[in-house]
Amino acid sequence: MKRLIICFIALTVLGCLSVPSYAMKMNIDPARVEITAKPGEEKSGVVTVLNYDESTPVRIKAYVQDLVYLPDGSNDFLKPGSTPWSMGEWIKIGPTEFNIPPGKQEQVRYLISVPKDAKGGRYGIIFFETVPTPSEAKGAGATVNVRLGSIILVTVDGTSVIKAKLTTMYTGTTDKGFEISWTVYNNSNILIRPFGTIKIIDSAKKEVATIDANKEKSGILPQTNRKFTVLYKDIAKLPKGDYYAQVVLNYGGQALLGGQTKFRID
């Protein structure tokens, strides 16, 4: 049974990778790989790149970048070695540039070599980007470059340190409706996916609603924070008075994480 740690936070106001699919004629499989490896171990696999166009060949360049989840939930990608959780020289891929004939596919192999002293998690993405073929490069007119990414998540077995804290929680009305927001800081050495419930409780301590919190189980990379927001659509149905929004999260640690904030309906 996990302990429940509740942090009471005053009402405060603080200022899975989306990419095009080349008109559904190009795809990759898998889009995400999760690997657990022991220190000093090697793991390998393949990503298949498919050209669904039955008449046009495609030329692909494959390369690795660091994966970043920004506090607002959007993604960024940086050159390898830019982040503390970079796979850096852990990962090798090949081939790195190739042609795929119409209606065919190509496999790109990755090899992950985990150092003997490695701990925690490492995260990155293998991008597959279209580049002009030699005939296209010689021709006139604009070309469209498209890239698809396969996310690689590596956890070093037996070395995880899992810690997190709720740093802010607040409620408020926006143009989208009544929002409940909270921010979690991941003080772990691996990615975490904090999920759970939000309960709306009235002044008599009666629960009037339950809402899923991070139902999609979106992740937070090590030593970073992320803001989560849900809409409470039935706010107009509540009688006037004082209420509490209480969040309880399972993030994979020994204790559940929780907090609450107070709001009033006039």
Span 64-80, pLDDT tens digits: 999 999 988 889 999 99
Task: With beta carbons less than 8 A apart as the criterion, state whether 59 and 92 touch.
Answer: no
Rounded distance between C-alpha atoms, residue 21 and residue 28, angstroms: 9
Q: In what order do the strands lie in the sheet with 255-265?
A: 3-8, 255-265, 241-250, 195-202, 207-213
Provide the mean pLDDT of the chain: 88
For residue 1, pLDDT over 80 is answered with no
Average pLDDT (196-216) is: 96
CATH 2.60.40.10 in the chain: give the residue spans.
22-156
Q: Does domain 22-156 have CATH number 2.60.40.10?
A: yes
For residue 250, pLDDT over 50 is answered with yes
CATH 2.60.40.2360 in the chain: give the residue spans.
161-265
Looking at 3.40.50.11030, 2.60.40.2360, 3.40.50.720, 3.30.70.920, the CATH number of the domain 161-265 comes to 2.60.40.2360
Q: Which segments within the chain are labelled E, that is strand?
A: 3-8, 26-29, 32-37, 42-51, 58-69, 75-78, 91-94, 97-100, 105-113, 121-131, 147-156, 164-174, 177-186, 195-202, 207-213, 224-231, 241-250, 255-265
Q: Give the pLDDT of residue 145.
A: 78
- The model's pTM: 0.84
Site of tokens 């989560």:
228
- Binning pLDDT at 50, 70 and 90, where does residue 25 land? confident
